[in-house]
Structure 1
Amino acid sequence: MIGNYRELFAAVRKRPHMYMPRGDFASLVAFVEGCNHGNDFNLLTGLQKWLVTRVGCGNNVVWWHLVLRLTDPEGATSLGDMDPETDARAIETLFQCLDDFLALRQEHDGLSRIHAAHQAWLDARDLNHCLASGAQACPVVDWPKPHAGDRRGPSTGQ
């Protein structure tokens, strides 16, 4: 199932207007959310936690906002705040994050590794008291990456 979505997102990345009238970041977020809804909310299970460990904060923030933080940590904070250049970078960040995340999720232990990395982040955050101290950012932990053998892109059917 996940492999099919990696292929779908790769196709959307190449030709977004074949799948939706507008190919901007907001439309792509809606498309991805629609795919998640169509899969009983299981497709993106763990994505927000995985992104939190990469960003270093935002445990209470929606996944697409974390993608924006990865794109430009001090830039756009909403879907309507982006200039065309930032929107294009956010789209690339989104597709790269989705592919990396779904490659990890395809592994037999992928979801458990995501949860373990998120727990390590929570532990590091609590240990450093970053929320109580008013620190600008919480610690970043090593986030789980797909095993080297699973880094291949979506299959092309060849």
Structure 2
Amino acid sequence: MPLRTPREHLEDIRRRLGAYGLDGSYQLFTTYIAGFDAGSGHTLLEGFREWLIVQVNGGNNLVWEALVLMLAFPGETGPFSSERMDEERNAVAVGVLFDALERFLADRDGRSGGRNMIQPAYDQWLSQQRWTQP
């Protein structure tokens, strides 16, 4: 039986790494998910970066992969990179990645108007930043 939703596909990836040729590393997960997003016409992760920026209250200059690392390791300062990440930190980052994707998709797709709430929340966050003031 084929998977019906992107959320189900992501859950399956998390459970069955070998079925997708993944080694459990944060770097390969993010690469796979970026490819999955591209294959969806860039609709899977639409709004994810903005949602993450509001969640971590910063990182407007970062890509979503680095923002997830900010969420995984609050209070740390960059550079946010998955290179040379030890096994324990990798496990934390992977767990936060899938939890964040699940929460994001629930926020965006799981409630009425959710998709229309992410951009305004980001715009409000942006308007509160001193560096955006004239």
| Alignment TM class, shorter chain as reference | 0.7 to 0.9
1:119 equivalent among 107, 123, 127: 123
TM-score relative to the length of structure 1: 0.74
- What one-letter code is carried by the residue in structure 1 that aligns with 2:84? D
Identity %: 34
Aligned to 1:37: 38
Structure 1 Cα separation of the partners of residues 73 and 42 of structure 2: 27
Rounded Cα–Cα distance in structure 2 between residues aligned with 1:69 and 1:81: 16
| 1:16 Cα offset (Å) | 1.5
- Structure 1 unaligned runs (5+)? 133-158
2:100 to 97, 101, 105: 97
* Whole-angstrom CA distance in 1 between matches of 2:121 and 2:82: 28
Contact 1:36–1:44 under 8 Å retained in 2? yes
Moved >6 Å (runs of 4+)? none
Matched, 1:80 2:87: no
1:104-156 CA-partner distances (Å, limit 9, x unpaired): 2213411211011101101221xxx2x48xxxxxxxxxxxxxxxxxxxxxxxx
The root-mean-square deviation of aligned C-alpha atoms, in Å, is 1.7
8 Å Cα contact 1:25/1:91 also seen in 2: yes
Aligned residues: 126
